Amino acid sequence: AVVSTQSTGTILKIIGCVIVIVSGFIFLARGNTQNIAVGFNNTNTDARGWSEAWNGVIWSYSGWENVVTVASEIQNPSRNIPIIVVGSVSIVTVLYLLTVVSYHIVLPVSVMTSEAAVASVFGSATMGEAGLVVLAVIVMLSSLGGVQCTFLYSSRYIHSGAVEGLLPQVLGLVSTRFKTPIVSILYVALTTVVFVLIGNIDALIDSASFTMFPFIVLCCTGVIVMRYTHPELPRPYRVPLIFPVLMTLFGLFVFISPFTGDNWGISLLWVGLTLLGFPIYYVLVKDVFKIPGLAWAMKKLRDVTADALGCE
């Protein structure tokens, strides 16, 4: 079911992009050059704003890195993972760039920055009411596939952390019927609902990208360090060092630059929320303060949850 849903979502994304691309260039071929002729007029060249723009852009292109969460299930990973990463990034880059160009051909910049559903407005402008409905449905269904993919890999992160003793054991429970990490999936669902209720989509994307980059930098730095300190370790797939070096520099810039702007307080708030993981880890997981009854309560929570959800 997961494979078929993801395949359907991917096909719908590609169909949607192709419809936008073809419609945009047909619109251009009819002599409608007034929007694209504006080019990059009035573009903000302040470097402090680049990171904010990149947060949204990098979110559109991300996803390829999550292939590592299912690496153990991929046949011949040393051959197939590089093909998957390079192929997916290349396809997405071509499709997204042409899609954005088509948007600029058809819609003025003022409309693109003010409308929440750009694809629907584009469909209405190029194909009328039918185009509005078709693109809205495609975006909705493909977004559903994206949400499912997010639940797939993010719940595995949490489950692996619990199994390795880095998170409460209750998050490592697996459904005896479906063989899936049901508790970590429900945890992701609960936190998602909370964040959706307290924030808007732009704030969520900015915060998610911003808090994600320190860990990307740490991972990339780890690749560089391990390459020189432990060159003898087997590597199913070997990454050219230029890529982790560039990603480390890019990640540091995106993470640090928001602190130079006017909204540095919000950035500091998200850093504080991320750092809350340390006290939670040492109190709930390691129980360094030996709080009376905490170990019993955590075990009881695990047992009750396992019985209620049919987990082991």
Q: Cβ distance 182 to 311 under 8 Å? A: yes
Q: Which residue has the tokens 């952390």?
A: 161
Q: In sequence order, what are the residues at sequence separation of 6 or more whose Cβ sits closer than 8 angstroms to the Cβ of residue 271?
A: 211
Q: Is the pTM of this model over 0.75?
A: yes
Torsion of CA 302, 305, 307, 309, to 10 degrees: -140
Answer left, alpha or beta for residue 261, where phi above 0 means left and psi between -120 and 50 means alpha. Answer: beta
Q: Cβ distance 132 to 124 under 8 Å? A: yes
Task: Out of 5-14, 137-146, 152-161, 184-193, give the one with best mean pLDDT.
Answer: 184-193
pLDDT of residue 205: 67
Mean pLDDT within 262-266: 73
User: Alpha-carbon distance 243 to 89, whole Å?
Assistant: 14
Within 107-241, residue ranges assigned H as helices are: 109-114, 118-163, 182-198, 201-229
User: Alpha-carbon distance 4 to 212, whole Å?
Assistant: 29
Q: In sequence order, what are the residues at sequence separation of 6 or more whose Cβ sits closer than 8 angstroms to the Cβ of residue 103?
A: 20, 24, 112, 118, 122
What is the pLDDT confidence band of residue 18, given thresholds at 50, 70 and 90? very high
**pLDDT digits over 23-74, tens only?**
999 999 999 888 888 877 777 777 767 767 776 677 777 777 777 766 766 7
